[in-house]
C-alpha cells in the first residue's frame, strides 16, 4: 500500500492546545524516491533539471541521507519556530540515498514503469517548452519521448537518475 | 529509469519566438501514480486526505482517465491562454486509472516499498499534527506508523489506496 507521510507546519508545542485542523492549510509537501547514487542524482536534478537543494538531512548512524530539492530560492536553513523549514512548501522532491548503493552493480531501484508497475513520473512545468527541451538536449539528457515523438506534441519525457546503472562522469549515465 | 514529464505553463504559440528559458519559473507540478480503483482512490484522497479534485482528463478511446488532486481551491476548468489550467501549480497528485483494473483480483500495482523498492511516499504537511492525526483516525485510516510509534514523534505514515485489494464500502479498503 502506498504511504502518505504526515508532518507538521507548526511545532506541536504551539498547537497542543488547539483542537481544530483546517484542511485548506494542508500542503502536498514532497515526493520521496530512492536513488542509487546521491552524486549522480544531485547533479542531474540540480544541473540538468535546474532544481535547488533546499535541505539535507544526514543520518550517519543509520547510513542514509535525505536530500530535498525544489524550484525557487532555497529555504532558510533554520526556521524561526523550530520545525522543518520546508514544511510549508509544495512540490519538493526528496531523494533517499542509502550509503553504499552507488557501489552496487547494475540497477538498484525500480522505476515503477516496468513490471511491477506503480509509480509513474514526476512532472515539471516550464515557461517555454521548446527552449526548455533544447536546454535539456544540450545537457545530454536521454529522452523517453521528445516533443516531436508521437501524437502529443505538448509533452516530453526525460529519463532521470532513478534506477539506472550510472557512470558518474557522464550526464547520460 | 525514472521519468520526468515536461509540460508548458504557456502556450507554445506565445513562446515560439522567445529564445530563452528561465529555470526560476519552473515548477514541480505533479507526481503520477497508478491506482487500481478510481472510486476508492478519489474517495480516499478527497474525503480522508482532504484534497480537492483540480482536473479530470477522460481518455475513453484509450481506456484510461487521469485525475489531478491537490490542496486549496480547484483551478478554473479552462485557462485563459489555452494551456492546462493547473500547469503553474506545484504539489499535485495525478492518479492514473486504467479502466477495468478495479475488477481484478488482488493487488494490481506495486507500492515501491516492498521489493523491488523505488518510490517511497508522498508527504502532506498539516497545520496541527495531533488534530490532523485524530481526524485521520476518525476517518478509519490504516496506519503504517502512528505519531507515538518509534523514535520519531513528529512524523506519521498513513497507508493509502495505491495497490491494495479494495472493498469499496470500507474506508479501510
Give which of A142, A170, A166, A138 is closest to A156, Cα–Cα: A142
CA B121 to chain A, closest CA, distance in angstroms equals 5
Instruction: Please give the Cα distance from B6 to A133 (Å, whole number).
Output: 8
Q: Quick one: cell of B127?
A: 497545520
H helix runs in chain A, sequence order: 12-15, 38-43, 129-138
Q: How far apart are CA A70 and CA B9, in angstroms?
A: 17
When the pLDDT of each residue in chain A is averaged and rounded to a whole number, the result is 87
User: Could B6 and A132 be called an inter-chain contact, meaning their C-beta atoms sit closer than 8 Å?
Assistant: yes
pLDDT of amino acid A162: 42
> Rounded to whole angstroms, how far apart are CA atoms A38 and A68?
12
User: Hey, of A11, A15, A118, which one would you mutate to test binding to chain B, going by the most B CBs within 10 A of its CB?
Assistant: A118
Distance CA B132, CA A38 (A): 33
Cβ–Cβ gap A127/B93 under 8 Å: no
Average pLDDT over residues B115-123: 93
Nearest to B157 among A4, A19, A33 (CB): A4
Give the residue, A82 or A122, on which the prediction is more confident: A122
Q: What are the tens digits of pLDDT across the range B61-110?
A: 999 999 999 998 777 666 655 678 899 999 999 999 999 999 999 889 99
Task: Place A151 in a pLDDT band, splitting at 50, 70 and 90.
Answer: confident
pLDDT value at residue A79: 60
Q: Are A92 and A74 in contact (CB under 8 A)?
A: no
Tell me, what's the ipTM?
0.89
- Minimal-distance CA residue of chain A relative to B111: A2
Contact between B36 and B105 (Cβ < 8 Å):
no
What is the per-residue pLDDT for B139?
92
Q: Which stretches does DSSP call E strand in B75-128?
A: 92-98, 119-126
Strands A156-159 and A92-98: unpaired
How close A100 gets to chain B, by Cα (Å)?
A: 16
| pLDDT at residue B162, rounded to an integer | 41
| Number of helices and strands in chain A (H, E) | 3, 8
Query: Above 80 in pLDDT, residue A82?
Result: no
Interface test with A, best of B37, B85, B106, B125 (most A CBs within 10 A): B125
Residue keyed to cell 497507508:
B159
Domains of chain A as residue ranges with CATH: 25-159 (3.10.180.10)
Best B33, B94, B110, B120 member to test A by mutation, with max A CBs in 10 Å, is: B120
The confidence score (pLDDT) of residue A80 equals 54
The pLDDT, as a whole number, for residue B2 is 78
| Residue B23 pLDDT greater than 80, yes or no | yes
Q: What is the pLDDT of residues A16-71, one digit of tens each?
A: 899 999 999 999 999 999 999 999 999 999 999 999 999 999 999 999 999 999 99
Give per-residue pLDDT as tens, A95-120: 999 999 999 998 899 989 889 999 99
Burial class (CB in 10 A: 0-12, 13-18, 19+), A122: buried
> Which among B3, B94, B112 has CB closest to A110?
B112
Cβ contact A72–B16 (<8 Å): no
Measured between CA atoms, how close is A108 to chain B, in angstroms?
A: 8
What was the pLDDT predicted at A101? Answer: 96
- What is the per-residue pLDDT for B170? 30
The helix (H) or strand (E) run that includes residue B134 is helix B129-138
In DSSP terms, which residues pair with B94 in a beta bridge? B32, B68
Q: Does residue A169 have a pLDDT over 70?
A: no
In this structure, what are the phi and psi dihedrals at residue B135, rounded to the nearest 5 degrees? -65, -45
The 10s digit of each residue's pLDDT in B122-161 is 999 999 999 999 999 999 999 999 999 998 888 999 987 5
State the pLDDT at residue A171: 29
Per DSSP, the three-state class of B135 is helix
Give the contacts of B59 (CB within 8 A, at least 6 positions apart): B65, B66
Dihedral class, residue B124 (left if φ above 0, else alpha if ψ from -120 to 50, else beta): beta
Q: What's residue A65's pLDDT?
A: 97
pLDDT attached to residue B129: 94
Separation of alpha carbons A37 and A100, rounded Å: 8
Amino acid at each position: 500500500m502506498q504511504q502518505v507521510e504526515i508532518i507538521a507546519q507548526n511545532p506541536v508545542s504551539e498547537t497542543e492546545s488547539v483542537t481544530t485542523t483546517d484542511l485548506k492549510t494542508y500542503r502536498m509537501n514532497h515526493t520521496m524516491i530512492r536513488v542509487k547514487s546521491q552524486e549522480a542524482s544531485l547533479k542531474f536534478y540540480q544541473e540538468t533539471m535546474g532544481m535547488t537543494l533546499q535541505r539535507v538531512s544526514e543520518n550517519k548512524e543509520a547510513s542514509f541521507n535525505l536530500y530535498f530539492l525544489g524550484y525557487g530560492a532555497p529555504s532558510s536553513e533554520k526556521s524561526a519556530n523550530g520545525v522543518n523549514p520546508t514544511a510549508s512548501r509544495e512540490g519538493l522532491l526528496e531523494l533517499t540515498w542509502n550509503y553504499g548503493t552507488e557501489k552496487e552493480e547494475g540497477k538498484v531501484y525500480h522505476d515503477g514503469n516496468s513490471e511491477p508497475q506503480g509509480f509513474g513520473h514526476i512532472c515539471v512545468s516550464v515557461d517555454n517548452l521548446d527552449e526548455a527541451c533544447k536546454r535539456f538536449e544540450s545537457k545530454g539528457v536521454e529522452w523517453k519521448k521528445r516533443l516531436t515523438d508521437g501524437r502529443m506534441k505538448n509533452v516530453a519525457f526525460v529519463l532521470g537518475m532513478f534506477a539506472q546503472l550510472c557512470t558518474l562522469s557522464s550526464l547520460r549515465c
